[in-house]
Amino acid sequence: MSVYDIILQRRTIRKFQQKPISRDTLHKLLNAARVAPSASNMQPLKYLVVDEPALVDAVFQTTSWANYLEGKGTPSSNEKPVVYIIVLADKDIREDGYAIDIGLALENLILTAWEEGIGCCIQGSIDRDKIKALFTIPDKYVITDAVAMGYRAEQPVLEDAQGDDIKYYKDENGVLHVPKRKLENITFWNKI
């Protein structure tokens, strides 16, 4: 499968099989993140991998899921993530300006995960103070995001947005639909 095909297929996943992800596979995903472009090649990002079930559950308790779905987006107890990767920015390396690094690294990670049959949900809506306390994270690290992971237990559907309505939704069968703006509505050629 080509990278382009993976990009078109990949969707955010919020329902996961309760099957462990091997450390070898996690190393592969982290390596994909590690080699992403980084501004001035400073590489300020670090990753805290959480794969012990009790700790995964503790992180899960700090998260908020799929606000558009009004309570229907939170995974049930048998659909929760099996791994979290907590993304940290090391302020000793770079004080700020690492947002693009995060986007590039996480895109590498989630595309590689998709190729392995693993779904991801990048979560910014997390209780950073609780996570910091849970893992005794030093002040030099900024907690930027948490990536919920597991083998996919759902298959969201990509569709063209109708007008400006980009809210994802579940249909009567519980299938998640993800509208994306049409290419012709977001592209300008040589002038605006």
Q: Are residues 106 and 175 in the same domain?
A: no
Domain count, the chain: 2
Q: Are residues 176 and 106 in the same domain?
A: no
Q: Are residues 163 and 123 in the same domain?
A: no
What is the CATH classification number for the domain harbouring 169?
A: 2.20.180.10
Q: Are residues 147 and 161 in the same domain?
A: no
Q: What is the pLDDT of residue 69?
A: 79
What is the CATH classification number for the domain harbouring 27?
A: 3.40.109.10
Q: Are residues 191 and 110 in the same domain?
A: no
Give CA–CA dist 156/176, Å, rounded: 5
Angle at 61 between CA 57 and CA 64, to 5 degrees: 125
Q: What is the pLDDT of residue 148?
A: 98
Judge whether 12 and 121 are in contact, CB under 8 Å.
yes
Burial (CB < 10 A; 0-12, 13-18, 19+), residue 96, is: exposed
Give CA–CA dist 88/140, Å, rounded: 9
Q: Are residues 112 and 127 in the same domain?
A: yes
Q: What is the pLDDT of residue 145?
A: 97
Which amino acid is residue 34, in one-letter code?
R
Count CB-CB contacts under 10 A for residue 7: 11
Q: Are residues 137 and 160 in the same domain?
A: no
Q: Which domain holds residue 168?
A: 156-192
Q: Are residues 172 and 95 in the same domain?
A: no
Ranges of the chain with pLDDT below 70: 71
Q: Are residues 90 and 116 in the same domain?
A: yes
Q: Are residues 85 and 106 in the same domain?
A: yes
Q: Are residues 96 and 130 in the same domain?
A: yes
Q: What is the pLDDT of residue 68?
A: 77
Q: Are residues 30 and 75 in the same domain?
A: yes
